[in-house]
Chain A
């Protein structure tokens, strides 16, 4: 029997010329044994083309790992400088594409801060409702995908079913499911449709029912707990050192939620809790997200029951497009419309940074205005990118089988991470 050529086995096929510091080493024992370098991704079922993990293995144990991101880089920040402030919206959709509304809201708030305006209460409440729906879909996707990667395919499809109910709501409101472009500087694209409250109520009820099923199937399943507990533990200090935010930081016990710390869009008017973990392992991250879904549903219910009447946009023709009847019915309406379409919103000179609580963590938009209709500079504090920095720390000493659930619990969204 002719054995495979050992040279062929050990070649590290670099992807796109990217090199890695991870190399196989001789192990210090009497036998001639060396570690194996395993290239997980970017063409791997669990990394779906967005990340590459080069792991040095001794048996199934990970001795060293190199995490490479950037496979989905599109130049978001540079692209934003070429379009006006409202046209950034479709680009922002594609950051965290699982919860695009939160990105829209974050960008709108940043530009509104530059402009020095505050949107009406109704608009703020609708933004809250839609953001929380997005957060639920984000968490459901994250939890479902992680469950699937652990072999619990059924749970994933249950969660996708719940997400489907919520995305139907999003479709009702925005007309699209994924790239919704719902936000507008100074307001929103549409008001809520008729009968939205009843639909939301029904969808949340059904989602709760599905989550009870998932809870029975998964969160109290012995195999699942053993797989998740004490894996990729991150202490609160480490979380702070790596500037982790969002569910990952909260799973480590770091009580930081932008909605509580720097309330935006009337979040301070709602009663909700921030679930905190204690150990900071994968299971805590899973549970924090699981309980956050319930809190998000609570916020949705409060907001929809107290939804104030009124306009959904600021009453300023230099920020928001004037209604169509004025465009065709009055000369100044026509001029305002022309100005808005041709030159866009023109914030005064200055800079602004606004963080919002995204699905994965603190999502911050920083922009500089030079007084023209185009942003001078845009930067996104993408939580996924920052969280990927801790991945190596989490993987050291873990098993190969832990890579995928850990990666899933970081919830790295390619569009947001690589921008």
Chain B
């Protein structure tokens, strides 16, 4: 029983949330950017499916709608294309490292989904179930650690590409991720200080009355900026800036390995949106409403409320990515070290003082 529940949790976390969020982000990236840029976007695949079989007509209709919206193009065609493409490995590279890098970059991201609580506790099969694969006491630290580990994959990818553009991209990526982790860590410490716990579930519970954003807006802004930088997207996409470095650290990757990098990037967007929602936007809490019981119905409601907020942040990140131009390397470092880091330190001192004087918590 225990095992089955665990498997169910993993399925929910990995397939229902992580992969779906990644797929959703890909679709928004495709179709949303088209909307922003006055284009039509992907709309051809399966857009003209016809059938004479009466039973299949509703299926064809559904396929047409999905094709018109570009969903089939993004989810089916892209994957099929990537799998069927030649998996090109350049000459003179350590093949093992080259193959390992994409998975090392992606694996920690999916692993990090394990500690994120997805819904309020509910009662089923005679026991209270928490929709969280691993109920770690130090959930925040685990998230932070996993974010750091994914740097290795990026660095290895850039090194093993045997290409100067890859190398430059990997250097930029490593420097960027490590620099911004400082501000991220200090901001997370501030959050931990305010809520007085390391457990993500407890943090959500602490926001039952008032969302975290209301009393720590600056922490949110810092963490949001840092998060955009950690996902290496938006105005912070220097490691893969396609106009300078061709494709940055994954220049020498093709086919499915390339797609794995992509998937990881979008899963990271989803993860970050999830983290922001849980830390600052009350998780599954709804303003002026408390979940009346721990019936499973309410867990489903909470799960969807959470996802709705997450989707909002995913879309927000993609809109920013399609609006702003890119930083230069030195400007990025300036922003990280000279603005965000001192700001987050001051922020920490402020909240520590507030906590000591009994202002919060």
Contacts and interface: CB of A to CB of B under 8 A. Distances in A.
Interface residues of B, number: 36
Nearest to A7: B92
Nearest to A400: B244
Contact of A4 (B36, B39, B162, B329): B162
Contact of B94 (A1, A151, A218): A1
B2 interface: no
B92 A5 contact: yes
Which applies to chain A's interface (DSSP): helix, strand, loop or mixed?
A: helix
A46 interface: yes
Interface string B313-325: 0000000001111
- Tier of interface size on chain A: 35 or more
Nearest to B39: A157
Contacts of B164: 9, 36, 38-39
Contacts, number: 98
Contacts of B329: 60, 399-401
B237 interface: yes
B168 interface: yes
Interface stretch (A95-103, A222-230, A350-358): A222-230
Interface in A1-16: 1-5, 8-9
A226 B243 contact: no
Given A8-B162, A221-B325, A149 B38 contact: no
A227 B328 contact: yes
A150 interface: yes
Nearest to B34: A157
Contacts of A399: 328-330
A154 B323 contact: yes
B91 A8 contact: yes
Nearest to A405: B243
A151 B97 contact: no
Interface string A41-54: 00011100000000
Interface in A216-251: 217-218, 221, 223-224, 226-227
Interface in B314-361: 322-331
Contact of A46 (B238, B243, B323): B243
B59 interface: no
Nearest to B92: A8
B325 A45 contact: no
10 contacts: A8-B91, A9-B164, A36-B164, A38-B168, A45-B242, A60-B168, A151-B237, A151-B326, A158-B38, A401-B328
Interface of B: 33, 36-39, 91-94, 96-97, 159-160, 162, 164-165, 168, 235, 237-238, 241-246, 322-331
* 3 closest Cβ pairs, A-B complex: A151-B326, A149-B243, A152-B325
